Amino acid sequence: MTINDLGPRVVSVWEGLRPVTKKMLVGALQASGTGPISSKTTKFHYDAHADWEVSRLLTALDEQSKNSDFRNDKEKLGEIKQLADTCVRVLEAQSASAEVFIQLAERAVKENDFNRLDRLADHLSERYSAGEIAEIVRQTEIPQIRAIAYETLAMMPVPQIVPLLDDPLYSGIAAAALEQKAFEFESDEARDLLDQFDEPLNHQGQ
């Protein structure tokens, strides 16, 4: 695969990557296959900047794949797909960012790839903070993604959800998640907390 053959947008983003990120992607591409990337099988440096870089490259690859010149060239389209799939697997294995989750989940929904969507939901519960999950709810307008995020948040321990009630951005989301936890998952702890949360609102309305 030659990056220069994948279009000017992809080349521009690739040239802007740090050497450590390029090395990571090349290693992941060489070891790609179809299996998931894991910390046990790959050894590379990954940080928030790498997260942003790989996400940006994936966006460029997805945009390029829509170009008619590439859609009519099966070889180049296949190379774009191979690199895009590698980016996806790296992000799935490493990212804990709301924006990246939405990017990956939107791709899965668009492609009707429900197995990938299930894997993303698993990663959400394993790796993401309550704040990041609430941010997913806040940012996305796609019902399937909101439902996954709400359900994951509702399954978290109550003490992890509580701090969100004090944040104006997330208080409504947290209250909705606690309501789901209280009534769908029959949590008395969540129900008691909701009663306490509602009391000040009731007093203000009187």
Tracing tokens 């992809």 back to the chain, one arrives at 10
Contact 100, 51 (CB under 8 A): yes
Find the range with the poorest average confidence among 11-25, 36-50, 144-158: 36-50
Question: Tokens 């299996």 sit at which residue?
Answer: 35
Residue 55 is predicted with a pLDDT of 97
Q: How far apart are CA 164 and CA 176, in angstroms?
A: 11
Percent of the chain at pLDDT exceeding 90: 67
Exposure on the CB side of residue 65, measured as CA atoms within 13 A: 15
Beta-carbon contacts of 144 under 8 Å, excluding residues fewer than 6 positions away, are 105, 109, 117
φ/ψ bin of 186: left (φ > 0), alpha (ψ from -120 to 50), beta (otherwise): left
Closest CA to 67 of 5, 13, 150: 5
At 151-162, the pLDDT tens digits run 999 999 999 999
SS3 assignment, position 181: helix
**Confidence at 39, pLDDT banded by 50, 70, 90:** very low
> Is residue 84 predicted with pLDDT exceeding 50?
yes
**pTM: predicted TM-score of the whole model, two decimal places:** 0.86
Average pLDDT over residues 79-91: 93
- pLDDT for residue 19 is more than 80: yes
What does 24-76 look like in DSSP terms, one character per residue? Answer: HHHHHHHT-TTSPP-TTT------HHHHHHHHHHHHHHHHHHTSHHHHT-HHH
Calculate mean pLDDT across residues 98-124. 95
